Amino acid sequence: MYDVLIKNGMVIDGTGAAAKPLDVACKDGRVYMLEPGSCFSAREIIDAAGLWVSPGFIDTHSHGDFPYGVSCNSLAKVSQGITTHLGGQCGLSAFPLCRERIEEVADAIGLSRYPERPLCEHTTFARYRDYMKTISAAEHIGFFLGHETLRQSAMGAVQRVPSQDEMNDMTEMLEEALLNGAFGMSTGLAYPPGAYAEKEELYQLCKVLKKHDGIYATHMRDEGRHIIDSVKEVIWLGKETGCRVHICHLKVCGLKNFSLSQEIFELLDQAERDGVRISADAYPYTMSGTQLIFCLPPDLMEGGIDKALELIRTDKGRETARQRLLHDDSFDNIYQSCGSFEKMIVAACAVTKDAVGKSVAQWGRNHGYEAFEAFFALLLQNRGEVGAMFEEIGEEDMRRILQDSRVMIGSDGAIDKLSDGGHPRTFGTFPRAIALFTRDEKLVPLEEMIRHMTSLPAKTFQIEGKGILADGMDADITIFDPKEIRDQATILEPVKVSKGIDTVLAGGKIVFRHGALTGETPGTVITKGKRSSQHE
């Protein structure tokens, strides 16, 4: 007897092959493919008539590692069909915390939001991995080591070249993570202190990645005016070290830079001809999102957020920041990409709740602030804790990027409180990509879009047992209605669950059904090149 039998559905196996009618059975966490109409018994039978059955989606760029196990974070994932996500992105991971700086680094990376998690379990990846296995969640998770965390553990949040001893510490911590199953190293080169890393530092770390076949996954230095130089840096690292490289949330920001995606793909094509192994992920939105304080130039944030807030409390500091935002294009200047504070929308904040859903400029008008002073006031009144969305991404570029055969889907999302709000991508990325690209605009065949979400990331990141529906593969399955599937999350309602995702299984257990979590928590920690722990 099977545990679950899914009957009467159209199966998209994840390879890009045409959909066909098949029944899908699950037993002991594995999949078995059956001819339609087969007479087998099961503890639970799901009638998928009129629905499509695919492998569970893989979110290649998630920030859901910090709130892993929080029910609303699981809801954000599985409600859009995601059964596996990769955390530790943009240079930010919850490990390794060097014992000498454990409190300092934990505070800097935001672990103070999770006081129930013992810091001693974050010192190495092996300890962190084993600790995370004890947390119950609906979905599976894997990890990158974040360069920002690594660098702060080795040398603090300082703007300088690491000493040889500090470089040795970084390479040793990275090697420990890779030996214990981390997928690679991520960077956030637009954010301090990751922005302080020069090419030589990254070159040395990428050599370690090459040694262990890990991936260099990067939030590039600049996604606007200097994006071509940023892409060339990624390609250079891949070419010179031989490591696999991956561009995170590939996009083109700033009106003056729109259409540069054509040149980017010419560079990627040439890099592949030169032997560089390169991939990317993206999300189907024209609004980016990050913390508002990262609009400030990275050098003004040396020493951390508290130091930056001290600076903008003074008239001189605010004027310095204002002039840099207006005239300095040497960094990834979000203000210049947007063109004004009218195009910066507050998504979440700690104190000034009336700002959520409004532009920085609009909130300022409501409170009698000029636009720049509103920006500074929001940061100061919320102690830097302001999430924002930025209208800066070229729509034509977004469409071109997501149609490329190398590009996977990444939500760039996480949430630990439904009341916190956030970017609509946290709840809507995958249904939006399917609805927009396959049904509404017919730019990509449905089977190909599902490949981008399943077997392509599984192959790229060496996620064993996932991404394809075939005998013996993991029973991670998404059942959806191709006519109804669409995102519903908006700026004003960012946590609204998508339509059209009928049922989601992880490890053969039903974790989401008819709009709600079921309470099942089969989620496991996955490691590079190894089947998830439920099959060990």
- Model pLDDT for residues 491-514, shown as the tens digit of each residue: 989 999 999 999 999 999 999 999
Asked if residue 232 and residue 139 are part of one domain, the reply reads yes
Asked if residue 138 and residue 260 are part of one domain, the reply reads yes
Q: Which amino acid, 57? A: F
CB of 361 closer than 8 Å to CB of 340: yes
Is residue 494 one of the residues assigned to a domain? no
Asked if residue 474 and residue 442 are part of one domain, the reply reads yes
Residue 61: pLDDT above 60?
yes
- Model pLDDT for residues 414-460, shown as the tens digit of each residue: 898 777 778 999 999 999 999 999 999 999 999 999 999 999 999 99
- Dihedral pair phi/psi, residue 13, rounded to 5°: -80, -5
pLDDT band at 140 (very low <50, low <70, confident <90, very high): very high
Angle at 505 between CA 214 and CA 55, to 5 degrees: 55
Entry pTM: 0.95
Q: Taking residues 206-213, what's their average pLDDT?
A: 99
Q: How many of the other CB atoms lie within 10 Å of CB of 327?
A: 9
What is residue 535's predicted lDDT score, i.e. its pLDDT? 40
Asked if residue 110 and residue 178 are part of one domain, the reply reads yes
Which H or E run includes 126? helix 125-132
What is residue 531's predicted lDDT score, i.e. its pLDDT? 79
- Model pLDDT for residues 150-193, shown as the tens digit of each residue: 999 999 999 999 999 999 999 999 999 999 999 999 999 999 99
Asked if residue 374 and residue 269 are part of one domain, the reply reads no
Q: Which amino acid, 75? A: L
What is residue 30's predicted lDDT score, i.e. its pLDDT? 98
Is residue 181 one of the residues assigned to a domain? yes
Residue 59: pLDDT above 80?
yes
What is residue 536's predicted lDDT score, i.e. its pLDDT? 42
What is residue 533's predicted lDDT score, i.e. its pLDDT? 52
Burial grade of 33 (CB within 10 A; 0-12, 13-18, 19 or more): middle
Is residue 411 one of the residues assigned to a domain? yes
What is residue 131's predicted lDDT score, i.e. its pLDDT? 98
Is residue 180 one of the residues assigned to a domain? yes
Is residue 71 one of the residues assigned to a domain? yes
Task: Report the alpha-carbon distance of residue 532 to residue 526 in Å, rounded.
Answer: 5
Burial 111-141 (b: 16+ CB within 10 A, else e): beeeeebeeebbbbbbbbbebbeeeebbbbb
Q: Taking residues 25-46, what's their average pLDDT?
A: 94
Asked if residue 180 and residue 33 are part of one domain, the reply reads no
DSSP per-residue string spanning 335-357? HHHH-SGGGEEEEEESS-GGGTT
Asked if residue 207 and residue 133 are part of one domain, the reply reads yes
What is residue 420's predicted lDDT score, i.e. its pLDDT? 72
The number of domains in the chain is 3
Is residue 45 one of the residues assigned to a domain? yes
CATH of the domain at 399: 3.20.20.140
CB of 113 closer than 8 Å to CB of 107: no
- Model pLDDT for residues 312-370, shown as the tens digit of each residue: 999 999 999 999 999 999 999 999 999 999 999 999 998 999 999 999 999 999 999 99
CATH of the domain at 524: 2.30.40.10
Domain's final residue, options 389, 419, 441? 389
* Percentage above 90 pLDDT, the chain: 93
Q: Which residues contact 119 (CB under 8 A, 6 or more apart)?
A: 97, 102, 103, 106, 111
Residue 119: pLDDT above 70?
yes
Is residue 492 one of the residues assigned to a domain? no
Q: Which residues contact 273 (CB under 8 A, 6 or more apart)?
A: none
Domain boundaries, position 372: 291-389
Domain's final residue, options 338, 368, 389? 389
Q: Taking residues 233-253, what's their average pLDDT?
A: 98
Asked if residue 199 and residue 81 are part of one domain, the reply reads yes
* Radius of gyration from C-alpha coordinates of the chain: 22
Of 105-119, 145-159, 480-494, the range with the lowest mean pLDDT is 105-119
Residue 141: pLDDT above 80?
yes
